[in-house]
């Protein structure tokens, strides 16, 4: 059951930041998940009020959709470990400060999004052009998962059963220490937007 248990806050003055994570639904499934319409409106207000926002996977797609961009099926499903490359704008962006120009990250998505108006592309990959974006001054969307641990990935793999499940799990233990360091740096960078 993916219904929302609590209402979204109406008084945005109490919010220091908003972080929206992933989920199994697509942003275009409003008829199945009607709360998505409220999410679009809420995120639009967050961006308008310049409250720091970090969207991961579905959270990035919700950001794009809430700002009027199309979310659609990607040309290929991305499941597993791959590299994303920062754009020139990404290299100098606050969110990727102190991180290398190419990052090995964990992917688990079938959708992608067009760039919203007034957004900046920060990272790309071979299979999915729009991997990270900035909208306005401090709203960020990451198509990839910086929060994924080997245990989480193992659970996801057991549920989905991709053909290369064993390799994905094995690589997760190999690549996770570096991902964890980079995730901590990225969270630190995002946290600086709150100051």
- Rounded (5°) CA angle 88-179-54: 60
The per-residue pLDDT for range 82-138, each reduced to its tens digit, is: 999 999 999 999 999 999 999 999 999 999 999 999 999 999 999 999 999 999 889
Q: What are phi and psi of 119, to 5 degrees?
A: -110, 165
pTM of whole model > 0.85?
A: yes
Local confidence band at 3 (pLDDT 50, 70, 90 cut-offs): very low
* Across 4-32, average pLDDT: 84
The per-residue pLDDT for range 128-182, each reduced to its tens digit, is: 999 999 998 899 999 999 999 999 999 999 988 888 999 999 999 999 999 999 9
The residues assigned a catalytic role are: 57, 145, 147
């Amino acid at each position: 059951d993916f219904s929302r248990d609590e209402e979204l806050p109406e008084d945005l003055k109490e919010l220091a930041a908003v972080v929206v994570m992933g989920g199994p639904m697509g942003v275009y499934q409003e008829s199945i998940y009607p709360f998505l319409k409220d999410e679009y409106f809420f995120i639009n207000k967050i961006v308008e009020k310049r409250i720091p926002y970090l969207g991961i996977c579905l959270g990035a797609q919700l950001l794009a959709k809430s700002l009027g961009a199309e979310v659609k099926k990607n040309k290929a499903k991305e499941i597993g470990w791959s590299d994303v490359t920062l754009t020139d704008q990404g290299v100098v962006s606050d969110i990727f400060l102190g991180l290398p120009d190419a990052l090995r990250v964990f992917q688990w998505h079938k959708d992608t999004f067009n760039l919203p108006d007034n957004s900046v592309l920060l990272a790309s990959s071979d299979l999915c052009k729009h991997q990270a974006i900035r909208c306005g001054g401090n709203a960020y969307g990451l198509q990839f998962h910086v929060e994924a641990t080997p245990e989480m990935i193992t659970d996801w793999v057991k549920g989905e059963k991709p053909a290369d499940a064993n390799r994905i799990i094995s690589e997760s233990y190999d690549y996770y220490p570096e991902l964890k360091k980079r995730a901590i740096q990225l969270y630190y960078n995002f946290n600086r937007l709150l100051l």
